[in-house]
Amino acid sequence: MFYLGTHIPAHFARSVVPLFVSRTRLERQKKWPRAQAPWSLDSGGFTEVALRGGWSLSPTRYAQMARKYRDEIGSLRWAAPQDWMCEPVALKATGLSVVEHQRRTIENYLDLVSYAPDVPWIPVLQGWEKDDYRRHVEMYAAAGVSLADAPIVGVGTVCRRQSHKEAGEILHTIRAAGVSRLHGFGFKVLGIRAWGHLLTSADSLAWSFDARYAKKRLSTCKHKAATCQNCFDYALWWRGNLIPSDFLMKGC
């Protein structure tokens, strides 16, 4: 399944394909349209951890927000926890180790499940080297969480190196550890084409960056903006033309 990332909540009312939306965009509004298709919630972790040095939003508050989005928008498939990514920029921002980021990721997942067990939270694996991800699987097991039994498990800290073989090695390592139903966060076209066969689902907002930086605009568009960076018609065109059809499930 491919989730089309969007930064515009109004797209809920139009989309018949699955969407991926960040909490940082939803919290700017008080009301949202009802979703016409399944969608999943991103916690906005990169903004919090890499840019701010840690989470300023409490788990209890985030759980309340996720429950509200589920009830008022509807069709929520799953919600990402407040994970701690392990890119060098994130580790520099927090001053913490990879292991500590992994520990905090598990702790938050358990807290959210405890605070809001009715919300479909997913566990997320974090690390930098492939052995980090193997260790994180073991850390989840030690905490009483069997990732092999989870409906979907997110894989973080991969999107910025998905075009390299190390992304594939990480996914192979996780699958070898018995975890096969994986979601790739922020996978772009090259990453999906290279490693999509190892994923159950993925998401991408690359269409907006593509339109913005390449200054693209569909000839059929009537909006006043010079580019289609906020245009859902362009998003659907990008999805239909650039995502390989053999990766997508029928109707997804």
User: Smallest Cα–Cα separation from 151: which of 123, 171, 173, 125?
Assistant: 123
Does 85 score more than 90 pLDDT? yes
- The reply to whether 128 falls in a domain is yes
- The reply to whether 244 falls in a domain is no
Does 248 score more than 60 pLDDT? no
Does 229 score more than 70 pLDDT? yes
Which CATH number characterizes residue 35's domain? 3.20.20.105
User: Smallest Cα–Cα separation from 17: which of 210, 171, 232, 189?
Assistant: 232
pLDDT score of 157:
93
Amino acid type, 113: V
Token pair in block for residue 109: 């997942």
Domain tally for the chain? 1
Q: How far apart are CA 202 and CA 190, in angstroms?
A: 12
- The reply to whether 252 falls in a domain is no
> What pTM did the predictor assign?
0.92
- Residue 98 gets the label, from left (phi > 0), alpha (psi -120 to 50) or beta, of alpha
* pLDDT, tens digit (0-9, with 9 covering 90-100), for 159-187: 878 667 889 999 999 999 999 999 999 98
Rounded to the nearest 10°, the torsion over CA 223, 225, 228, 234 is 0
Between 43 and 208, residue with greater pLDDT: 43
pLDDT score of 89:
95
- The reply to whether 87 falls in a domain is yes
* pLDDT, tens digit (0-9, with 9 covering 90-100), for 135-147: 999 999 999 999 9
- Owning domain of residue 12: 2-205
* pLDDT, tens digit (0-9, with 9 covering 90-100), for 52-71: 999 999 999 999 999 999 99
* pLDDT, tens digit (0-9, with 9 covering 90-100), for 94-106: 999 999 999 999 9
pLDDT score of 57:
97
- The reply to whether 111 falls in a domain is yes
Does 27 score more than 90 pLDDT? yes
Grade residue 130 by pLDDT with cuts at 50, 70 and 90.
Answer: very high
The mean pLDDT of 75-91, rounded to a whole number, is 97
In the chain, which ranges are continuous DSSP H helix?
23-26, 45-52, 59-73, 88-94, 98-115, 130-142, 165-176, 189-195, 206-213, 232-242
- What are the CA-CA distances from residue 215 to residues 159, 166, 209, 218, 220 (Å)? 23, 31, 9, 10, 15
Grade residue 188 by pLDDT with cuts at 50, 70 and 90.
Answer: confident
Report whether 74 contacts 39 (CB < 8 A).
no
- The reply to whether 38 falls in a domain is yes
